[in-house]
Structures are given as C-alpha cells and as structure tokens.
Amino acid sequence: MRKSMIWGAAGLAAVLLPTMAHAASPAFDVERATRAYLDLLQGPARAKSDAYFEGGYWLTLWGTLASVVTYLIMLATGMAARFRDITERLIKRRWLQPAIFAVPFTIAGALIILPWTIYTGFFRERQYGLMNQGFGAWLGEQAIGVGVGIVVNMILFAVMFAVIRRFPRRWWLLGAAAMTGFVLIAALVAPLFIMPLFNKYTEMPAGPLRDRIVAVAAANHIPADHIYVSDASKQSKRISANVSGLGPTIRITLNDNLLNRTGPDEVVAVMGHEMGHYVLNHVQKAILAFAVIFLVVFFLIARIAPALVARYPRWGVRDVADPAAAAIFMLLASVAGLILTPVQNTLVRVQESEADAFGLDAAREPDGFAKVAMRLSEYRKIEPGPAEEALFFDHPSGATRVRMSMQWKKDHVPGATMIKPDVKFDQ
C-alpha cells in the first residue's frame, strides 16, 4: 500500500466541510481540462483498450450462442433426459429429484462450454495483459465456481420445480418472486461464504489513508468500522472496489491493486463512489429492478417452453415440471439475457452515475476521480459514441466520468486550476 502523510489537518477539514456549491470558477475550461486527461491515452495503448472493449461486444453475442449450443446439445442428445432418468432411479422422493438432477446437469454444462470459458476467461485476458494467474490456478478457481454453481442450482432447481408442480398455471409469477427471494438471500450470504472462496479479505491497515476514508464516511453518516482489502492482484491487474452484501452483511471492499497502483487521492475518490452505493441503497434498488426483469422473463419462458416441449418430443422432456426442462429454461434465459443486455446495462449505469456524483461530493477529489477513470481505460473504451455507450456500457465511459469530474471542479473548487495529469499506460 502506498503511504503518504499529505492527509493532514487541512485534508481532513476539507472532507468535513459540507458539500455546498461554490461560485463557479469562470476561468476554468471544463472541456480543455477534460481533453488534457483524455489525451493521455494515445497510440498503441488506446488501440489496445478500444480493441479489448469492442471485442467484448461480440463476446456478448458469441457467449449467448455458446450457451444456446450447450443446452441444445444437452437436449438433442437426450443428455438432460438421461440425467433425469438416472435421478429418478436413484431418488424416489420427487421433491428431491430436481436437486440431485442439478449435479450432473451443472457439471455437464460446464464441461461442454469449457473451451469457450478458457478462451474468454484466460487466454484473451492473458493476450491483453490483464491476467496475473497461471493456467492451473485459474482452472482451480473455475472448478470452485462450478462447485458453487452445483450448490446454487441444487437449491434453485428444488424450489423452482416445486413451484411449477404446485402452481402449474401461475408458476411463472411465483417463480419470479422465488427467484427474487433467492437473489436476496444470495446477496446476504455471498460476502460471508462465497467471496472468501476466491480471495482473502483483510482489514485495511491503520494509517493516514484509512483515517481519511473513515473521515469521509463519518461526514456522510456511514459506518466504517470495517474496511476490507482483497488480494485481487493474484488474479488480475484490474483496480476495483465494490459494495457487497445486504443488511448486516453489507461491506465496502477495495482490492490491493487499487492501493498499490494509485495515489491516495484516487483511493479516496473511489471509496467515496462506493459509499454512494451504500447511502443510495443501490443494492436493494437493483434487486427490485431485477425482480421486474425476472417477471417478464419468466412470463415469456412460461409461454414458449411448453411449445418447445410439444414440438420436439425427441428431446425426451415430458413437460415443464420435468427437471430435464431446465435445459429449455436455461436456453431461453440465455437468449432473454442477450436481448435485455441494453436494459440491464442502463440500470447499472444509472446507479454508477449516481454514485459518481455522490462520490465527488463526499471525497472532494475531482482530479483523483478523473485519474481513476483514465486507469480504468486499460480495459474500457475511453470515448465511445452516445449510442455505443447506451447499448454496451454498464458504467459511464471514461470520457463521461472525466468530464463530470472537471465540471464538479469548476462548480465547487474556488479558483480551480488545471493540473498536468500524469497517468501511465501499458503499450
């Protein structure tokens, strides 16, 4: 972690000042200050960033196709039906059969799509210089992920097929409610039981930087008894922080890349942003928004799935209450996810923009936030077109964030002046 003593009494006093607007600095040119940052990313580094992110547009499509092919293989070969038959021979309790079916179903699905997972999750990340792990360590974490997926699907399948059997006409409505409840529980337990399977979480060490973050939190009435640091550098060079959990398990976490690769002003700016998610109840609001999405998707699946069962009897799926129908549900959900990608991106991007605004008011570090936005351009296209940003970005673009930061600086910092930003990028 970088250590600095620049956060003295003056710095703390600035944090504790109320976030009131000052008269705008007329001499400060927002567009010129913004361009000074954006022009830092030039030549090969910019081409690399654009290529990585734009390639992700196609990966969204190809990833959906890979999922569709995976489930079609499981249906067309009768694999899903055979898993069901084996389960029924082994387990006589009908309510338990979907849970047991989920075990081979999840493993088979992961193996079929494994070549695509290896390319997108390992080789492509290594190609663009973002991967720190060796293949063995990466593959081990994928295996852990499959294990988690088995447990999750066992619970999910048991609940969903019980709902379908009990309410054959309105199962989509109760199924969407059950899925929302499932997400609530997952959000509650993930920080305690799932995230530690992949990373080690430790308390941020005491020192001037932690004191500054605690001061920002206190000024905004945010509990900051615990600030966690994850060892994400063992996996990737990406800088990140997040708010996770729900209710008593909500926590703010930053990764060690953020501490090691940025300055104190950038860390405080990012933490102000993450505190915005907490204060604005974004986790709860996101779950409510996705509850509506679940309702729409489940309604469509309830209309389309029976038609597919009737049209393709060779798949061996008896009806929608048959656990083998999970392959049909997952196939349709994959297609729905692709279609709804712009909607989901917009929901997340709006929250991120709100947290950006909160973080600028809370941390009062516009240049720190602008520098972080530039660092994120290592893997996010810095200047997309308006339609491109609306369709494909689940966070505001770097250009949007830098411009917001410079406008905040003009509006809130008396006598604001341009700085000469210094952010280095890999070629």
Within-domain flag for 365: no
Within-domain flag for 135: yes
Within-domain flag for 77: yes
- Give the number of domains in the chain: 1
Within-domain flag for 72: yes
Residue 132: domain span: 48-192+283-344
Within-domain flag for 354: no
Within-domain flag for 59: yes
d(CA 54, CA 380): 9
Secondary structure of residue 158 in the 3-state scheme: helix
Q: What is the pLDDT of residues 257-276, one digit of tens each?
A: 999 999 999 999 999 999 99
Give, for all 427 residues of the chain, the pLDDT tens digit. 333 333 333 333 333 343 444 556 678 999 999 999 999 999 999 999 999 999 999 999 999 999 999 999 999 999 999 999 999 999 999 999 999 999 999 999 999 999 999 999 999 999 999 999 999 999 999 999 999 999 999 999 999 999 999 999 999 999 999 999 999 999 999 999 999 999 999 999 999 999 999 999 999 888 888 899 999 999 999 999 988 888 888 888 999 999 999 999 999 999 999 999 999 999 999 999 999 999 999 999 999 999 999 999 999 999 999 999 999 999 999 999 999 999 999 999 999 999 999 999 999 999 999 999 999 999 999 999 999 999 999 999 999 999 999 999 999 999 999 888 888 766 5
Q: What torsion, rounded to 10 degrees, do the Cα atoms 98, 100, 152, 165 define?
A: 10
Give the type of residue at 385.
G
Within-domain flag for 151: yes
pTM for the model stands at: 0.89
Give me the DSSP letters along 127-178: HTT-B-S-HHHHHHHHHHHHHHHHHHHHHHHHHHHHHHHH-TTTHHHHHHHH
d(CA 11, CA 5): 10
pLDDT of residue 9: 34
d(CA 349, CA 340): 14
Within-domain flag for 70: yes
Q: What is the pLDDT of residues 54-80, one digit of tens each?
A: 999 999 999 999 999 999 999 999 999
